[in-house]
A and B are shown apart, each in its own frame.
Chain A
Amino acid sequence: MYQYDQYDQAMVDARVAEFRDQVERRLAGDITEDQFKPLRLKNGLYLQLHAYMLRVAIPYGTLSSRQMRMLGDIADKYDRGYGHFTTRQNIQYNWIKLQDAPDILADLASVEMHAIQTSGNCIRNTTSDQFAGAAADELVDPRPYAELLRQWSTFHPEFDYLPRKFKIAIIGSETDRAAMKLHDIGIQLVQNDAGEIGCKFYVGGGMGRTPMIAPVIGDFVPPLQMISYLEACLRVYNRYGRRDNKYKARIKILVHEIGADEYRRQVEEEFAHILTLGLEPPAAELERIKGFFEQPGFDANASDELDLSDPDFALWVDQNVHAHKQPGYAIVNISLKPVGGIPGDATADQIRLMADLALEHSFDELRVTHAQNIVLPHVKKADLYGLWQKLDEAGLASANLDLIGDIIACPGLDYCSLANARSIPVAQKISERFADLGRQRELGELKLKISGCINACGHHHAGHIGILGVDRKGVENYQLLLGGCEGADTSLGTITGPGFNEDGIVDAVEKATDVYLAQRADGERFVDTFRRIGMAPFKEAIYAKEAVNG
């Protein structure tokens, strides 16, 4: 893992001291809320429905056990004993006191973490593949490039006041596990016919009010020019992005309105200019960063044998354990989605346990996934059974990865001041309706995603089944979307029709799954069947019975 140098640490420490002074002045009444609000937001501190909420950046979703343990300790010391892992690979605390915020940031800084740029119209925390450095299908480890992005984007003066927030994802595998095409910029590390590595740039994707799939803007940018190409992409956006209308201010609107070809032309023009300035980071710096991400000391003699005689363990291995590039090792997915639980929530004890298990079994590494789960990336297969037993004791062994029980849900109206409807109770009811693991496995891969408002933090546009909570004259109402997908075959969900109340949406989801089971062909996922047969059979089943029931 990357470790701060003296510049990183000095910057973060200075920010803590600065914010401590700002908080003191606010509490003393020396500055008003209007003056203070942009300052606290720059440090990830929001005021939500019940309290202040602190969003902590987890760079490209990667944590050491020391950092993870600190996240658990903060949950106990300053919050109410739990944290919420988010769809942007971060963690949020829901019950923060303003007077404690500087101490929390100081604690985070002591383990090389912060909450900088987790809010505001700036470049947010870069996200990446949770299997980076471990996946069997990986072409290039994206983490050194993600770290380069972190250093470039942190406190970048030119991009501190963009028209809107800006999210970047980077992957190094053919399989897209980071929803890359639904980001402002998605970068895929690819290989050309000559065997050279390059960056493929997807620009102008996003979810929210106006969901769009990013078109390819740069086919093959040399890795050492990645930063310059990003500068060009951002500079064109910064110059022409709509600052007059918040709802049209994201880069996706600019790319859509002027067209991908014209946007590309302007980027290429700017890129050519930037190249003449010689501002690329030196190759030696990328090599220095790569040194922090070298392969851990794998046991070359580790066995691939697994005793699967315990049926519950065998189920968990089949569902939650992923192939590793190193023989004798595996990638473990810890689901934070127990039946009836709150997606993404983990208690302080669970967080510390996962830290301990990472130290003991995964070369001191953990990852947070955008699906609100945790990954132990490098586990020796021989250790899997003992690991599973410890997870099971702690309520962390739900064998439902990528099944209908593995629901993504934003905090919704239970916590979020922007939300229009609650997300979590809907997730809990669906989770309970489909509690039977056999039934979940019969349905196969089925990604269900719930957002409590149009901002789409719950990624409802990209769910095979998506749910959007809306406000209908003060009453919660839920729209159903079908056919969304992330990854190589990214697509956006389509609304089925009129919305439902909280119980009705659970019934509608079940009816949609019934149609799938009745109509699927061999090997088809839910989304594949939807693409083949279209909306009509689903709509008929969902709404016909509604009419009968009155």
Chain B
Amino acid sequence: MKVITGSDLRTGDVIWWTGEGWSRHVNDAVEAGEHAEAIIARENAKQIVTDTQVIEATRTDEGVRPAHIKDRIRALGPTVRLDLSLKPADPDAGTWVI
């Protein structure tokens, strides 16, 4: 599947397109479909998200898993500081193995 990711303009947080808005949780990401570029153009124009891009991912039993390690690390947080990732608040975030 193709999902859209970007960074929150104000905070720099990694965010994912949910079909209706943006979420910090990769599991909320949805298939962007053939309208991905149009969605990116529309959302960029709102000036609340930056560095948007379409990436490859798969939906697994553990949730949405980005194809490339760089995107998996973006989704989870630094692997060497899991205390700073989403995990403390959301134990299910990124249960797939980096």
Contact = CB atoms under 8 A, between A and B. Distances in A.
Nearest to A33: B50
A419 B79 CA distance: 14
A95 B84 contact: yes
B68 A26 contact: no
B69 A97 contact: no
Interface string A83-96: 00000000000111
A183 to B, nearest CB: 29
A47 B5 CA distance: 14
B55 to A, nearest CB: 12
Contacts of A48: 12
B70 interface: yes
Interface string B21-59: 000000000000000000000001011001100000000
A476 B69 contact: yes
A47 B11 CA distance: 10
Contact of A50 (B9, B67, B74): B74
Contacts of A29: 46-47
**Chain B interface, >50% SS class:** loop
A344 to B, nearest CB: 12
A33 B78 contact: no
B51 A50 contact: no
Contacts of A487: none
A413 B80 CA distance: 10
Given A50-B12, A98-B11, A474-B69, A422 B74 contact: no
Nearest to A53: B12
Interface string A420-433: 00101100100000
A110 interface: no
Interface in A370-424: 413-415, 417, 419, 422, 424
A51 B12 CA distance: 4
B10 A97 contact: yes
A501 interface: no
Contact of A414 (B7, B50, B68, B79): B79
A50 B47 contact: no
A414 B47 contact: no
Contact of B80 (A50, A97, A342, A474): A342
A414 B79 CA distance: 6
Contacts of B51: 33, 47
B64 to A, nearest CB: 17
Contact of A98 (B10, B46, B70): B10
A49 B7 CA distance: 9
A424 B12 contact: no
A272 interface: no
Contact of A47 (B12, B73, B77, B78): B12
B13 interface: yes
A424 B73 contact: no
Interface residues of A, number: 31
A50 B14 contact: yes
A548 interface: no
A51 B44 CA distance: 18
A27 B10 contact: yes
A99 interface: yes
Contacts of A422: 73, 79-80
Contacts of B78: 49-50, 94, 414-415, 424
Contacts of A417: 70
A313 to B, nearest CB: 31
Interface in A25-60: 26-27, 29, 32-33, 47-52
A113 B77 CA distance: 30
Contacts of B11: 51, 97-99
Point out which of A29, A33, A428, A476 has the most chain B C-beta atoms below 10 A from its C-beta. Answer: A33
Contacts of A80: 84
B68 A97 contact: no
Interface of B: 7, 9-14, 44, 46-47, 50-51, 67-70, 73-74, 77-81, 84
Interface of A: 26-27, 29, 32-33, 47-52, 80, 94-99, 342, 413-415, 417, 419, 422, 424-425, 428, 474-476
12 contacts: A29-B47, A33-B50, A49-B14, A49-B70, A50-B13, A51-B7, A51-B13, A94-B78, A98-B12, A414-B73, A474-B67, A475-B69
Shortest beta-carbon contacts, A-B, top 7: A29-B47, A51-B12, A414-B78, A52-B12, A424-B80, A97-B11, A33-B50
